Structure 1
Amino acid sequence: MAGCSSSGGSAASGYGQPQGRAKPNTASRAVVTILPKDGADSVATSGALKITAAQGKLTTVEVADSKGTEVQGEIAADGASWSPTAHLAAATQYKVHAIAKDSEGRESAKDTTFTTLVPKNTFIGQYTPEDGSTVGVGMPVSINFSRGITDPEAVEKAIKVTAVPAVRIEGHWFGNDRLDFSPKDYWAAGTKVTVELNLDGVEGRPGVYGKQKKSISFTIGRRQVSTVDASAKTMKVERDGAIIKTLPITAGAPSTTTYNGQMVISEKYKVTRMNGATVGFGGEYDIRDVPHAMRLSTSGTFVHGNYWAPSSTFGSSNVSHGCVGLQDARGAGDSSTPAAWFYDRSIIGDVVIVKNSKDKQITPENGLNGWTMNWPDWTA
């Protein structure tokens, strides 16, 4: 029977009894606060999302929309707060998951859901060049907004333009409805350019929000820069550093001179109508079939074919209303003419420089002609 008891022991120290009492688990002192509150709707797309921690430090913050697209943000150095680095999209539901730790390493977590506002008024950006296009070395990224922008900083921040090979690219506003991006010098031939428009949810003016979120890309083709000498009445076409052709031209007559400056081809038309009444020349001309026309300015400057002037005009006289004319055939059907030759070898974004004209320099907003500005003014 002695085998059924322990000698010299006591019931308190019997097998299976605790040797000591453990400290009970205690909750984390850290308190996570998320604004807006759980379930909120019509939340502003900027400035409303705030995540903070008291009596602890944030360690994890995850914010994503219903498709799983994450909102990028940063936890402050002291761990007390998290802020998004970009605006939120409009009419979108977001889920927030945040964790903080107190001084003893105990975690406190919080999860919320909210929905951003549905805009009553919106704007878009109409951009050039087109997605997938190949353009000349002078082509800027030009975005025209459908509504005047009163918060240009917010809008510009939401647009990212990058290039391979990498080059510094800066934006410049022309008024409140146009934003162009370009490098300091012409693009290098072969450059790949990507434009990311993250305008959805950007409040461009009070109560007016962007509604675009898309990415476009284009490629810079060969380098072609043509120089028109209005005094010598010639145009030298330079391709990849070599002069490949010198063409006789006619520039603006003494009373209707051609602008000087660096201009970019923005449109091409095999045949188009040119009416003087649309550019301030009244009824002086209305030519319904101008061949091989390429636009250089919004105000009506073109390089185009001319079939109505005698062939002796080109290279000897300036007779146009401000355009640069090249000898051509009516109907644009003769590929052997100087105008057809130049048209066939030009693309949108090619540069045409006019010099030695008795006129002023073209203004940068008159077409895609920001190259007339110096870099400090462009970046100011």
Structure 2
Amino acid sequence: MISVSPADGTKKAAFTSPVTVTVTDGTLASVEVTGNDGSTLEGTLDAAKTTWTSTTHPYSGTKYTVTARAAGADVAQTTTFVTKAPGETFVGYFTPEANSTSGVGMPVSIDFTHAVSDRAAVEKAITVTAEPAVEIVGHWFSDTRLDFRPETYWAAGTTVTLSLRLKDVEGTDGVYGTQSKDVTFHIGREQISTVDLSAKRMVVRRDGATLATYPVSGGSAEHTTWSGIMVISERFEETRMESSTVGLGDEYDISDVPHAQRLTTSGTFIHGNYWASTSVFGSQNTSHGCVGLHDAKGANDSSVPGYKFYAASMLGDVVVVKNSGERTVDPANGLNGWNLSWADWKAGSAL
């Protein structure tokens, strides 16, 4: 006699334990477990060949058919069961987008829709691989954010694959992941721009060679610019900037800031500036914390530095700010985990 667990006809079977098939008289010749989603469950026989156990758990919300045959039997025995749906679920929203091309500083950043208490289980279910191969490690910035990066910037031309195997992973008590997918994105050319706010200039280097040098204006003594390594996380040909959104009252409200590229979540941008005198750039730091380049109103004058730098940039490009008179930016403030040493980065992994 062959018995199957979950039993034949079960409507709300658990998906948190393996499927087992046992024969009480003789040995098992074959076992197949297939889901209505086309998946199959692999398994192993014990030494006596009387018990088969699936090596992974069944998926939630899936109907399974178990076909088992005992040695010497002419007919296989077939049973079915349906696993219950998870109650509460979570997903991870990831950056960068699938099939996109980014600069060499772009980490893989995942924001979860529910706080994760079992960080090890969730991190184990996510892998990031690169071609050419390089060691990539995860770092938890909070119970809802997990980033991945290599020790140094990605090599230009790298292909990166994010594999999410979160389906039915219990992130916290009774809350399960739903995603099982692979996402690929690409790394373009290497562009690293260094802003020296003592010299008030920015040197843009691409693939190791100097592409351009621009006069800039950074944060004033009262509103210093964060120092450290920052990564472009958003780009706007034109955007509105209001001082009230960054805790500075009604000091400014500019509806059409040209060529704005975000460097921190807290509101640091490198952007074009048409309202300051041209003489400011390269000679004075006058901003409220952003890095400004001379630009033209309307964002369509291709001869000005703001336009040129924007046109030469992409998401994931690196901007390094030094001599700003301010401390290093918090690594969690934007996609700026490069400010952590490799040892400190790895210490933030749950694995």
Give the TM-score, by structure 1 length: 0.82
Counterpart of 2:84 (choices 117, 140, 165) is 117
1:13-68: CA deviations, max 9, x gaps?
xxxxxxxxxxxxxxxxxx97643333323233333545678999888654432233
Count matched residues.
Answer: 346
- Structure with higher Rg: it is 1
Counterpart of 1:64 (choices 34, 51, 59) is 34
Task: After TM superposition, give the deviation of residue 149 of structure 1 in Å.
Answer: 1.4
Task: After TM superposition, give the deviation of residue 356 of structure 1 in Å.
Answer: 1.7
Task: After TM superposition, give the deviation of residue 325 of structure 1 in Å.
Answer: 0.6
**Residues 347-366 of structure 1 aligned to structure 2 (within 5 Å):** 347-366=314-333
Task: After TM superposition, give the deviation of residue 231 of structure 1 in Å.
Answer: 1.3
Q: Look up the SS of the partner of 1:330 in the other structure.
A: coil
**Residues 30-45 of structure 1 aligned to structure 2 (within 5 Å):** 34-45=4-15
Counterpart of 1:218 (choices 174, 181, 185) is 185
Q: Distance in 2 between matches of 1:292 and 1:158?
A: 38
Query: Is residue 38 of structure 2 the alignment partner of residue 92 of structure 1?
Result: no
1:262-301: CA deviations, max 9, x gaps?
1110100000011111111111111111100000110001
Q: Which residue in the other structure is 1:335 paired with?
A: 302
Query: Is residue 210 of structure 2 the alignment partner of residue 239 of structure 1?
Result: no
Contact kept? 2:219, 2:288, Cα under 8 Å: yes
Amino acid of the residue matched to residue 36 of structure 2? S
- Give the stretch that moved more between structures: 156-165 or 182-191: 156-165
Contact kept? 1:335, 1:341, Cα under 8 Å: yes
Counterpart of 1:128 (choices 95, 98, 102) is 95
Q: Look up the SS of the partner of 2:345 in the other structure.
A: helix
Contact kept? 1:260, 1:356, Cα under 8 Å: yes
Identify unmatched segments of 5+ residues in structure 2. none
Q: Distance in 2 between matches of 1:138 and 1:364?
A: 13
Q: Look up the SS of the partner of 2:308 in the other structure.
A: helix
- Are residues 67 and 245 of structure 1, via their aligned partners in 2, closer, same or farther at CA, if it must alter by over 3 Å? same
Contact kept? 1:151, 1:205, Cα under 8 Å: yes
Task: After TM superposition, give the deviation of residue 359 of structure 1 in Å.
Answer: 0.9
What value does the CA root-mean-square deviation take over the aligned residues?
2.7
Contact kept? 2:259, 2:310, Cα under 8 Å: yes
Counterpart of 1:325 (choices 286, 292, 303) is 292
- Give the stretch that moved more between structures: 61-70 or 362-371: 61-70
Query: Is residue 156 of structure 2 the alignment partner of residue 185 of structure 1?
Result: no
Task: After TM superposition, give the deviation of residue 110 of structure 1 in Å.
Answer: 6.5
Q: Look up the SS of the partner of 1:342 in the other structure.
A: helix
Amino acid of the residue matched to residue 92 of structure 1? T
The alignment-based identity, stated in percent, is: 54
Task: After TM superposition, give the deviation of residue 161 of structure 1 in Å.
Answer: 1.9
Contact kept? 1:45, 1:202, Cα under 8 Å: no
**Residues 1-16 of structure 1 aligned to structure 2 (within 5 Å):** none
Tell me: higher relative CO, structure 1 or 2? Use CA pairs within 8 A at least 6 residues apart: 2
- Are residues 342 and 115 of structure 1, via their aligned partners in 2, closer, same or farther at CA, if it must alter by over 3 Å? same
Task: After TM superposition, give the deviation of residue 349 of structure 1 in Å.
Answer: 0.7
Contact kept? 2:41, 2:54, Cα under 8 Å: no
Q: Look up the SS of the partner of 2:40 in the other structure.
A: coil
Q: Distance in 1 between matches of 2:91 and 2:63?
A: 22
- Are residues 84 and 108 of structure 1, via their aligned partners in 2, closer, same or farther at CA, if it must alter by over 3 Å? farther
Counterpart of 1:250 (choices 214, 217, 230) is 217
Q: Which residue in the other structure is 2:169 paired with?
A: 202
Q: Look up the SS of the partner of 1:340 in the other structure.
A: helix
Identify unmatched segments of 5+ residues in structure 1. 1-30
Task: After TM superposition, give the deviation of residue 369 of structure 1 in Å.
Answer: 0.9
- Are residues 119 and 106 of structure 1, via their aligned partners in 2, closer, same or farther at CA, if it must alter by over 3 Å? closer
Q: Which residue in the other structure is 1:272 paired with?
A: 239
Q: Distance in 1 between matches of 2:48 and 2:225?
A: 62
Query: Is residue 197 of structure 2 the alignment partner of residue 230 of structure 1?
Result: yes
Task: After TM superposition, give the deviation of residue 146 of structure 1 in Å.
Answer: 1.2
Q: Look up the SS of the partner of 1:379 in the other structure.
A: helix
Query: Is residue 263 of structure 2 the alignment partner of residue 296 of structure 1?
Result: yes
Task: After TM superposition, give the deviation of residue 72 of structure 1 in Å.
Answer: 5.0
**Residues 136-151 of structure 1 aligned to structure 2 (within 5 Å):** 136-151=103-118
Counterpart of 1:173 (choices 134, 140, 145) is 140
Q: Distance in 1 between matches of 2:156 and 2:280?
A: 35
- Are residues 119 and 67 of structure 1, via their aligned partners in 2, closer, same or farther at CA, if it must alter by over 3 Å? closer
Task: After TM superposition, give the deviation of residue 129 of structure 1 in Å.
Answer: 0.9
Give the TM-score, by structure 2 length: 0.89
Q: Distance in 2 between matches of 1:250 and 1:268?
A: 19
Q: Which residue in the other structure is 1:346 paired with?
A: 313
- Are residues 50 and 309 of structure 1, via their aligned partners in 2, closer, same or farther at CA, if it must alter by over 3 Å? farther
- Are residues 111 and 304 of structure 1, via their aligned partners in 2, closer, same or farther at CA, if it must alter by over 3 Å? same
Q: Distance in 1 between matches of 2:190 and 2:27?
A: 55
Q: Which residue in the other structure is 2:339 paired with?
A: 372
Amino acid of the residue matched to residue 84 of structure 1? T
Task: After TM superposition, give the deviation of residue 258 of structure 1 in Å.
Answer: 0.9
Q: Distance in 2 between matches of 1:145 and 1:132?
A: 21
